Each structure stands twice: as C-alpha cells, then as structure tokens.
Amino acid sequence: MSSCIVWFRHDLRLADNPALAAAVQTGLPIVPVFILDDATPGVRGPGAASRWWLHHSLAALDADLRKRGSRLVLRRGPAETVLADLVAASGATAVHWNRLYEIAARERDARIKQALAERGIVATSHKANLLFEPWEVKTGAGDPFKVFTPFWRACRQLPPPERPLPAPDRLAAPAAWPASDALEAWRLLPRTPDWAGGLRDSWNPGEASAHRRLEDFVDDTLARYRDERDLPARAGTSRLSPHLAFGELSPRQVWHAATAREPSAATEKFLAEVGWREFCNNLIFHFGNLAENNFRADFDAFPWAAEDAKVEAWRRGRTGYPIVDAGMRELWTTGWMHNRVRMIVASFLAKDLMVDWRVGERWFWDTLVDADPANNPAGWQWVAGSGADAQPYFRIFNPVLQGEKFDPDGAYVRHWVPEVARLPAQAVHKPWTARSQVDPAYPLPIVDHAQARDRALAAFRSLKQEP
DNA sequence: TTTTGAGTTGTTCGA
DNA sequence: GTCGAACAACTCAAA
C-alpha cells in the first residue's frame, strides 16, 4: 500500500497548510513527519529559545494530528538521508512540503526533489509561508526590488492573497507507522538550569493559541496599532511573530483576519509590517546568505571594534542606558523584545559600540522565540546600515531621546530595570544625573553616547572615502 | 537613455 | 521650548 509523506518544516499547522491539503487530496494514507535537521551545512538550526518553542509546538501539532486519527513522526539528521529512509520504510510514492526561502534550505530541497525523482517519487513544494512568492514581485525592468516601499506597492497591485484553506477533518493513517523519535529525547527544553520560566509565563506555543492571539489582536488592539505600536510599555503590537516564525499561523490567515474589518490607517500600517516580512524573504531569496554577508559589499571594509566586555554588558542588560538594558532583559527573560526597542539595542551595538552586526544577530538568533531566517538578518543589516534600503548613516539612535520619546513615563524601563524604578520621569532614562536615587549596583554608561556617535560617524565617513 | 522623485522607524544645531 | 534645516551622496524605480 503506498502512502504520501507530508514534511512539516516552518509550517507547524493543520489549517491553511497547502502541502497537507494536497496530500489529503491524493486519498493516500498520510505520514506527517518533522525532521530536526541540524546536520545539513548552511541550514541554520534553531537557537536555544526557539528550541523551547519548537518542543511545545511539535507537541501541539502531534496532539492535533492525533485528534484526526494521525500522528507526527519525528526524525533527526540530514533531511536528505532521513527522507530517503522514510520513503523506503513507508512505501511513500509522493512527498509534499511548503517552501522555504533561504539559499541553503532551497538548495537542499532541490537536491531532495531530484533524488526522489530519480526513484520515481514525486516531490511537490507549495506556496504557504508568504503572501507573494519572491519571483512574482518584480520591478518594471524585471529585477527584484531592493527598496521596501516600491516593493510593497507592487505587491498590493497583485491579486490579493487567496482565502485560507480549512484544516482537514481526518487524515488517513498508514497500515503501519514508521519509527519515530521521542520528542523528549531531543532535549529541546532547558534542564540545568531551567531558564524557561519567563518563556512559559509569556507564551503559549501551538496552532490553537496562535489563533486566539490573532483574534484577540484583531478585536482589541489592531484599531490602536498605528498609535501604540511604538510604545513598549503598551501591549500595542500583535505579538504574532513567533507563531508566524514557526508557521502556526499563515500570513494569509493574518491578512484575511486583519482585512475583515473596515479598511483603516491602522490596518494598512499593520499590513505593511506583514509586508516587511515579505520583503525580508524577498531579500534572502534573491541576494544570498544575508546572515553572513553584508548586503552592501562596501561594508566589508567597515572597521568593526572588538569589545568583548562591552558586548557582554549589552547581552546582560548592563550598559547603563535603561532603555537598552530593559530591552535586553526583556529578551533574556521572555524570548522576545518590542520592535522599537530592538532598533534601539541594535543601533547601540552596531553604532555606539561599533560591534559587527553579526554578533548581535547571532545573539538574537539564540535568544528570540521568533528568530526568523529572513527577518533577523535583514533587520540587523538595516539598522547597521549594511542592508537593503539602508537608512542614512548619520541616523544613530540616541538611547536617552528614544527612551523619553517612546517610554515617556518610564513604565517600561521601571519594569525591567528596577534599579532605576524610583527615579522621576525626567531622570529615568539618564540615571547618571540622579545617582542618589539609583541602586548603586546599576552601572554607569559603558560608553558616552555623544563620543560614540562621533566615532561611528567618522567610521562611516571613512567607508565612503574608500576607493 | 536620461531624468526625476523618493527613500520605515533620527539627531543635532541654531534661530 | 519649538521649529526647520542640515546632515551626503547614493541608489532605486519609474516615467
């Protein structure tokens, strides 16, 4: 009896899952499989926080599959050999998966498709994780876009995203299940020490809770999104990023939920943020490995500084700038950081400390529950100035002004940096001006921002003068 | 082909 | 305190 493999990757959902839907259409017994591929060179394995999320998301997916008469087969190793084994073990005649867009994953998938084809097995990839395929969005000259605004304008001219697919009611089970690893054996959860308490308090991985989060956001927050999304003390953002990163939600579902109401400036703003996700994937599809390489080659000559002690202070939230430290502690505790604060801490690392953006990108990769192979490198490069659609180099975030502008009463920094909690609002973002009311354990600024800014500007100017 | 308008998220300085 | 200009020049995308 033949069967059909559905290879789950960054799409841990049953609803609006085109690969799964196509497999159900075949009428064959279905073997759902997830492969922990930390062996294929260049394919980035999940960081520590993402492993925590992955564990729970896989458990949720398996439970949802079991409600439909199926289950999730877990395997570990290079996907090419693991899939070959599974095909042999299950007698599969077809394999379905949803597309990824990083270069290494695409090359791996192409090799797998080729190898399966040589054995007479049809592997089919599906559009599921983006609203618009990167090759569908082109300039008038037929080139990929490098600037967000015209990119997104072109996307909006295309037919709107299709209606999401429903989850299948039942999945036909094979006569015999292939062997599966035990999820616990993968040891994705931290043990000694168990640092995941803050993650458990903050998040509920899994498709069902992803949909609850989406509905709550659309009902309660979307209308205020334009006005409050930049205020880290408010719950003004969607907090959908980890659900999207693991594919518990599809961008189509998000799109249709957000546009179900009256059009508004708030909705447009939110859709544009979804558009940035599309744009980042467009970049990694067309322009290679942006986690390693500067998008702008002139940045290869940038004189990054070696600042190990200061980088460590940055990681631990001990820079002496409350808005930076609050963000880094929020990240360390919850696996997530407010978007406005991400820009501030990234600017601080890349500009004030003049540390290579890759150092920060890797730290985010390890600590974020929403670490995304497109958004994370593209976002870091954008802030550092090496990326697509780069900001002018003289745009350097002032951590005091940013704090005062976006956290005016200091509620955010008071929560995450209790050492400054007693300060009045006018001093809370510059605690060195009121030392007597600050916990003495809180550090003085590790750099003087004005001096650091001048140094960074000089470095950028030197870059411009290279031949 | 050439021209033209525009480019997510800012800061500082001087009037 | 508030406001507008300066901060560079470049690249992109479309007309």
pLDDT value at residue A465 = 62
Residue A226, Cβ density class (10 Å: 0-12 exposed, 13-18 middle, ≥19 buried)? middle
What tokens does A368 get?
């974020």
Q: Is A276 a catalytic residue?
A: yes
Task: Note down pLDDT in tens along chain A; length 467 residues.
Answer: 799 999 999 999 999 999 999 999 999 999 999 999 999 999 999 999 999 999 999 999 999 999 999 999 999 999 999 999 999 999 999 999 999 999 999 999 999 999 999 999 999 999 999 999 999 999 988 999 999 999 999 999 999 999 999 999 999 999 999 999 999 999 999 998 999 999 999 999 999 999 999 999 999 999 999 889 999 999 899 999 999 999 999 999 999 999 998 889 899 999 999 999 999 999 999 999 999 999 998 899 899 999 999 999 999 999 999 999 999 999 999 999 999 999 999 999 999 999 999 999 999 999 999 999 999 999 999 999 999 887 778 889 999 999 999 999 999 999 999 999 999 999 999 999 999 999 999 999 999 999 999 999 888 888 766 54
CA atoms of A96 and A93, how far apart (whole Å): 10
Q: Domain A297-461, what architecture?
A: Orthogonal Bundle (1.10)
Instruction: Give the C-alpha distances (Å, rounded to integers) separating A26 from A67, A96, A304, A425.
Output: 21, 11, 55, 63
Q: Are A282 and A134 in contact (CB under 8 A)?
A: yes
Determine whether the distance from the CB of A145 to the nearest atom of strand C is below 7 Å. Answer: yes
pLDDT value at residue A210 = 98
Nearest nucleotide over every DNA/RNA strand to the A339 CA, judged by C1': B9
Catalytic position from the list A255, A276, A365, A416 = A276
Establish how many alpha carbons lie within 13 A of residue A143's alpha carbon, considering only the half-sphere containing its beta carbon.
6
Q: What is the DSSP string of A243-275?
A: HHHTTSS-HHHHHHHHTSS---HHHHHHHHHHH
Q: Is A380 a catalytic residue?
A: yes
Determine whether the distance from the CB of A402 to the nearest atom of strand B is below 7 Å. Answer: yes
User: Sheet holding A30-36: strands in order across?
Assistant: A73-76, A30-36, A3-8, A92-98, A122-126
Domain boundaries, given as residue ranges, for chain A: 3-123, 130-161+207-287, 297-461
Q: Is A339 a catalytic residue?
A: yes
How distant is C1' of C13 from CA of A106, in Å? 28
CATH number of A3-123: 3.40.50.620
Nearest nucleotide over every DNA/RNA strand to the A141 CA, judged by C1': C13
Q: Which window residues (142-181, chain A) lie with Cβ within 7 Å of strand B?
A: 147-149
CATH number of A130-161+207-287: 1.25.40.80
pLDDT value at residue A466 = 53
